Chain A
Amino acid sequence: MSAVAATADLDALRTTAREIRKDIIRMTYAAGGGHPGGSLSVTDLVTALVFHELRLDPAHPDAPDRDRLVLSKGHAAPALYSALARRGFLPVEELLTLRKLGSRLQGHVDRNKLPVIEASTGCLGQGIGMAVGMALDQRLRKGAARVYAILGDGECQAGPTWEALMAGGHYKLDNLTVILDRNQYETDGDTEALMGIEPIAEKFRAFRYETLDIDGHDFPAILGALDTARSTKGRPTAIVARTVKGKGVSFMERTHVYHGKPPTKEEAEKALAELGGGSLTG
């Protein structure tokens, strides 16, 4: 365990992550749509970023030196909305408006409606390019903000993803950290059966990234990797976070079925019970 992980309140992070997972179930159930599987897999990563790593201030959401988080896998919106709400950027009650007409919580993260979102994403392979642009901007203006981009594994099949990664490596953007939510499943099934992306860590290394391969649900490992990323100079860091699709809800784990399908009422209740209890309306 690294020094940073030893000093972090790991129990608090785990508790927060559990609350976010419950929110994801409530939100996608209430919306009757959305992407629970990939939101549950990325939850611990988002929690570590929003509650530990990123310099953010709910009182000054547009502070110039804030760290930037770009959710390139924009469909994991419920996880990010919940984390931002529980960090104080929007009311927790608003979470249940996800995907409803007039809501600030669009199906894919949207900065037009919710300015705390750094970049509207949803079409894969674009958020990572915007993150590279932001990191380049920071270097040019000698800014101290760090830029974090979360990629999906299906997204690693898209050509523009690799264009953007190539640019990040070429420009030696050591203020950029790319985190891959490697949950193994995309909409139609196992990534390796559809269009294999492995060996993925070797690909990041070949694209000139300091590359770490970790368990994406192990908080000490996540915090340690983020610590390494912050201290790495002369090149960007890629963290291959091995995760479980649908993590925390037994019947959603290791399947593509809940990639883009919300739980039924019965399933939502069962999921909440597994996550420690609570009502469907929070």
Chain B
Amino acid sequence: MLEAFRMRMFFFLGVVTLVIFVIVVQIINLQLIRGDEYREKSRMNMENYVPIPAARGEIYDRNFNPNAKSVVIVSNRPSFNVTMVPSNFKKKDEYRTVMRRLCKLLALPYDETVEGIAKLNPWERVTIKEDVDFNSIVTLATHQDKFPFIDWEASTVRVYNFGNMFAHAVGYTGSISREEFKKLRNFGYRHYQKVGKAGLESEHDILLRGSDGYIRRIVDVRKRTDVEEVGLHPVSGSNMVLTIDYEIQRIAHEAMEAHPKGSVIVMKAASGEVLSLLSKPDYDPNLIISKDNVTTIKDLMEDKERPFLNRAIMSKYPPASTFKLMTAIAALESERWDPATQLYCPGKYTLKGYVDKDFFCYDVHGTNNMEWAICKSCSVYFYQVGLRTTPTRILEYAGYFGLGEKTGINLPGEIPGFIPSGKWKQKTFGQTWYDGDTVNLSIGQGFISATPIGMAAFVSGIVNNGIIFKPNLVREVRSQDNRRVVQTFRPVKMREIPLSQRTLAVVKNGMRMVVASGTASRLSGLKVPVAGKTGTAQTRSKRMEDASQHAWFVGYAPFDAPPEQAIVVVVMVEYGVAGAATAVPVAERIFGKLLSQGYFNAEKK
């Protein structure tokens, strides 16, 4: 044959050899060099992990007894979720028909539901509706031909047994948001899980949530299952016993019913245990988690009264006359003032200066010493105490008591109060600190502000002879079966302010006199000696309006017992008429309940 033909055939032979060589090299590369990598990928293809949700811990009040019927604040209720894998539907028509039928059954808006599902990965299981009523599940089960590929799975729903009552203390849960997931993924959270959104549900989420287990399934490309086994058993979340007493919370809630806005804190001075904490307006957590009441939630979210704001820890107000206690402490501790000093109150005080300025008292109080000035809340007396003590010292003591910082209560979102300073004023207003500012400061008006929880800590510091504990809402954490105590929350000492017995005696006597014959005399009828102080904070913006005042009551009982038994009560009513008229009746009911619950009975508790 022709030599040219042979040459060209040999060239072709060369090409063939080269190609086979390349193929073999690539096979070696895939199977031998990168074999492990691809084996891992093929394993990931066929394995599918189906989570087994862990039961979330229950929440009880402080009187929980594992062997008796106890108050359950938050529990779980078994429920059903309706789910499906969208890619199981091979025909669009069929999908639409089934979805239309299903949305009708579950009372869902068709367009929104289908749009929502379209955004998700069609190969993964989608929850169409949570907490579906049992009758709908029965309908689904008996009419499988009409609802192909629609599944349901057992789940649980959180039940807030007392609705609004514990809204701000306990909070609520919800599906993890994208932002939360980014933050929490390193702590083992998964995108499909629920997470505490507010209150203790959020603060102690890790304790309550437990850890999900999973079922390991070998699945094919259409997610049909071949082999199924439990890969990891779920670990239930721990139960939580609160320091809150249901009875006290209930009474506080009832007493606050009449007031649209405000907050109450009841706290043991010697440990920081919170017996009651509530904020108005509030909301029903059950409504938030039910999800099918979208408009209600939206209304709540957009409500100008901000029901989600926990006013006990997230709002600050001028402490008003309750701050006179601070002025007194600063004056006495710095030995700038003799408590026996008598001053005459003509109803106003004129501050001498470039232009004279009058500062008024709400009454003509006559001649008083310090205790009587506290009792009658005489501002004229305290103007002069404040001027003598100097603002630096007053603010210094406000700082010692932590009014400018967070108390550290175990609730999310706490804000600190605010302690001004000369430097701050210069920076913010470009003015120096005037004597007029001092006069305002000495009666808790002007720049200073405090949160209700901050005030509770302050009062507990007076009661406790200078020691302030971290406010705490959790007594102990128990195992899921309640047999074991997993964790106990011990009192944490936050501050220790050296206060002389003389100072404490003057302030406490003054507070006792407030109740005995002063602005809170309504409380004198109780069978326990109460001490306290009222305040009427003036808000700047609405000074001229009738209800432009916030009513404060801070106090404790029993007056004469050792601090270990003392319970601090702080009542704050926004736009209340005056401390005495609005806040004191609330405090009265709380002290009454504390009494009947035996909190002041030294032998019993």
Q: Do the two shown chains form a genuine complex with each other? A: no
